[in-house]
Amino acid sequence: MGLLRFVSVRLLRGLLTLWFAVTVTFFLVRLLPGDPALAVASPTMTADQRAQMLSDFGLDEPLLVQYATYLGQLAQGNLGISFRQNAPVLDILLERLPWTLLLTGSSLVVTLIVGVPLAVAAARRQGSALDRAVQVGGVVGQALFVPTVGIFLLYVFGVWLGWLPIGGAMASDVYGVAAYGSILAHLVLPGLSLVLLQLGPYVLFLRTSLIEALSEDYTNVARSKGVSETKVVWVHALRNALLPTVTLVGLQLGFLVGGSVLTETIFAYPGIGRAIYESVGQLDFPVMQGAFVLLAATVVVANLLTDLMYGLLDPRVRQT
């Protein structure tokens, strides 16, 4: 019962977030000086052609009518038509979405797989050389510029050592198992860039919560009962320290998605981020708008999943 209420409150908040994102973008696009009509119209058009095209795209209606139409269309999964490619924005983006999900999802998983043991090791030997290195690395990591990391990895492992491909998502002439291998090889560098960028905040945050948990009464009780230190850290303290870290995932998701836009641009990775980069060059506003809405929706869904996980990890949520 408690969990159900918790989830429905979170679901409502997710919907509110989505509505906010949709509404803000709609009005920004219509009210800002960059006239979408100018972007589609070419100077050689006659006035009639121009008016015809505006009504084709529905740009001659009153603002609120356009807004209502937009919401209605959106509810049916219609994100509009690309100015440049003459194809539905949703189709263009759905083709790209799996790559972005693969890139961001795998980098998040790897970040946690690497980050949790690192934070545990640092918290267990507070003040040790490793702990210092983790702290300095964490701070510097937060200050990194996304393209810098990508370019560095691309240069060292792609160009200089030649170990890994420097762009794209897979080679075009491979099939079967080799295709999976190719996808993986193309994923390593962009994925690693995102891991390096996210690792700092997670490790620093988890380290602090672990140090706190390790000085709590319940860990001392566990120790005095004779539970081994390894078990105290990994079972008793870690489970509690992970709770605030799960919340951090929610806060970091937006940053991760932003990082993927820049990373995909560098590695010519065919995800949503690369689509955004291409549409900036072509002033294709429907694609930019749709990409943001779709990414926001992805973040909302991912946030719901982390909330659900939080509910499962923390029994208090289920009871109240």
Residues 147-176 that bind another protein (CB under 8 A): 147-148, 151-152, 154-155, 158-159, 166
- Residue 127 touching another protein (CB under 8 A): no
Q: How far is CA 56 from the centre of its chain?
A: 34
- Residue 283 touching another protein (CB under 8 A): yes
- Residue 254 touching another protein (CB under 8 A): yes
- Residue 40 touching another protein (CB under 8 A): no
Q: How far is the CB of 188 from another protein (least distance, A)?
A: 17
Q: For another protein, which is the closer residue by CB, 118 or 276?
A: 276
Q: How far is the CB of 141 from another protein (least distance, A)?
A: 10
- Residue 184 touching another protein (CB under 8 A): no
Q: How far is the CB of 100 from another protein (least distance, A)?
A: 11
Candidates 65, 87, 140, 174; binder of another protein (CB under 8 A) is 140
- Residue 266 touching another protein (CB under 8 A): yes
SS3 per-residue string spanning the chain: CHHHHHHHHHHHHHHHHHHHHHHHHHHHHHHCCCCHHHHHCCCCCCHHHHHHHHHHCCCCCCHHHHHHHHHHHHHCCCCCECCCCCCEHHHHHHHHHHHHHHHHHHHHHHHHHHHHHHHHHHHHCCCCHHHHHHHHHHHHHHCCCHHHHHHHHHHHHHHHCCCCCCCCCCCCCCCCHHHHHHHHHHHHHHHHHHHHHHHHHHHHHHHHHHHHHHCCHHHHHHHHCCCCHHHHHHHHHHHHHHHHHHHHHHHHHHHHHHHHHHHHHHCCCCCHHHHHHHHHHHCCHHHHHHHHHHHHHHHHHHHHHHHHHHHHHCHHHHHC
Span interacting with another protein, options 64-72, 84-92, 110-118, 135-143, rule CB under 8 A: 135-143
- Residue 11 touching another protein (CB under 8 A): no
How many whole angstroms separate alpha carbon 79 and alpha carbon 135?
Answer: 44
- Residue 94 touching another protein (CB under 8 A): no
Q: How far is the CB of 309 from another protein (least distance, A)?
A: 16
| Amino acid letter, 309 | M
- Residue 241 touching another protein (CB under 8 A): no
Candidates 20, 27, 163, 180; binder of another protein (CB under 8 A) is 20
How many whole angstroms separate alpha carbon 170 and alpha carbon 92?
Answer: 19
Candidates 24, 68, 109, 312; binder of another protein (CB under 8 A) is 24
Span interacting with another protein, options 32-40, 173-181, 185-193, 216-224, rule CB under 8 A: 32-40
Residues that bind another protein (CB under 8 A): 13, 16-17, 20-21, 24-25, 28-29, 32-34, 139-140, 142-148, 151-152, 154-155, 158-159, 166, 250-251, 253-255, 257-259, 261-262, 265-266, 273, 276-277, 280-281, 283, 285, 288-289, 291-292, 295-296, 299-300, 303
